[in-house]
């Protein structure tokens, strides 16, 4: 809360009133570029879910084993992050990549009940109603935690999991409490909340986050990648789910569900991940010794991009072994 308080003090000290902030927000909305489309390939589809339209892409033979890619949670997040994996896997699998509610090209309703339970339900319903049969799941960071809960609560829906730097194994997985609720209320303010969101998702902020936390090698934080994340983070309504995330409402504890998993589980972790350090993998392996850990050196949060060929080979190995079993 201290950083947010200092942010507002700085604005007021500079003479920025509510009207001025609203004007700045409108300018940001007007000037934000359109994100590129079709980076994944395959065919586009929409799923009419109870909380809104869900955008996804699919590729591969209809009778091939299905693989569902679920992007992580954060400003600008969407299925774009799987562009080095989605089509390569479609040569032997039926691949799906979904934009979760509130992200990418899916609907972003202001009053949706954004929570971990909502995304657990969405992944469950998508597998049931769109995929239509048990799937292998590849999920990133907080969405990996949602996938763990689906696999625990509805084990018949998920045959195997590859989890990239999953969260939810330590005390940070707790609910937001009163502080988070107050923070959420402030961030949800149409003018002040949007101003803070625009400040933390500025082009420079997105670039610095990509260079310092997403990728180990800066060449992966290319102008194209930064431009895409910036554009997606400023699509109309993009701040709603991000606000719930920043306030802690999407956090979920996976310790007990992860320990109960009977499906094959592979953890993929960047050795230099500073956002979710590799020590967290040790906590998960102690909870479920049947899980397998694959460590990617010279890598932070995005092994599927920084080491795409090795990551894709890992997916094929994990899912073919599961399918044969």
Task: State pLDDT tens for residues 139-193.
Answer: 999 999 999 999 999 999 999 999 999 999 875 555 554 445 555 555 566 555 5
**pLDDT, tens digit, 9 for 90 and up, residues 228-280:** 999 999 999 999 998 889 888 999 999 999 999 999 999 999 999 999 999 99
H/E segment holding residue 71: none
Q: For residue 104, how many C-alpha atoms fall within 13 Å in the half-sphere facing its CB?
A: 28
DSSP secondary structure string, 206-240? HHHHIIIII-SSGGGS-HHHHHHHHHHHTSTTHHH
Domains along the chain?
37-176+251-324 (3.40.50.1820)
Reported as a single tens digit per residue, the pLDDT across 290-313 is 999 999 999 999 999 999 999 999
């Amino acid at each position: 809360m201290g950083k947010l308080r200092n942010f507002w003090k700085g604005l007021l000290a500079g003479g920025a009133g509510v009207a001025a902030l609203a004007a700045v927000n409108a300018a940001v909305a007007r000037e934000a570029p359109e994100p590129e489309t079709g980076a994944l390939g395959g065919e586009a589809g929409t799923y009419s879910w109870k909380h809104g339209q869900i955008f996804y892409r699919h590729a591969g033979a209809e009778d091939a084993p299905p693989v569902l890619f679920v992007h992580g949670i954060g400003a600008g997040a969407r299925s774009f992050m799987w562009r080095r994996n989605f089509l390569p896997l479609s040569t032997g699998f039926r691949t799906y990549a979904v934009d979760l509610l509130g992200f990418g090209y899916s609907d972003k309703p202001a009053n949706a009940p954004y929570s971990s339970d909502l995304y657990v339900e969405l992944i469950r319903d998508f597998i049931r109603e769109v995929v239509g049969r048990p799937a292998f799941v590849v999920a990133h960071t907080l969405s990996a935690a949602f996938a763990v809960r689906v696999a625990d609560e509805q084990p018949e829906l998920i045959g195997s999991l590859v989890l990239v730097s999953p969260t939810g194994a330590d005390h940070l997985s707790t609910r937001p409490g009163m502080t988070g609720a107050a923070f959420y209320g402030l961030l949800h303010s149409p003018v002040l909340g949007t101003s803070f969101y625009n400040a933390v998702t500025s082009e420079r902020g997105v670039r610095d986050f990509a260079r310092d936390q997403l990728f180990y090698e800066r060449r992966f934080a290319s102008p194209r990648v930064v431009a895409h994340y910036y554009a997606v983070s400023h699509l109309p309504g993009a701040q709603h789910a991000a606000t719930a995330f920043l306030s802690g409402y999407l956090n979920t504890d996976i310790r007990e569900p992860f320990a109960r998993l009977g499906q094959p589980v592979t953890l993929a972790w960047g050795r230099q991940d500073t956002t979710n350090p590799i020590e967290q993998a040790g906590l998960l392996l102690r909870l479920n010794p049947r899980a397998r850990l694959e460590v990617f050196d010279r890598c932070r949060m995005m092994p599927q991009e920084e080491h795409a060929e090795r990551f894709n080979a890992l997916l094929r190995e994990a899912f073919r072994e599961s399918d044969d079993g």
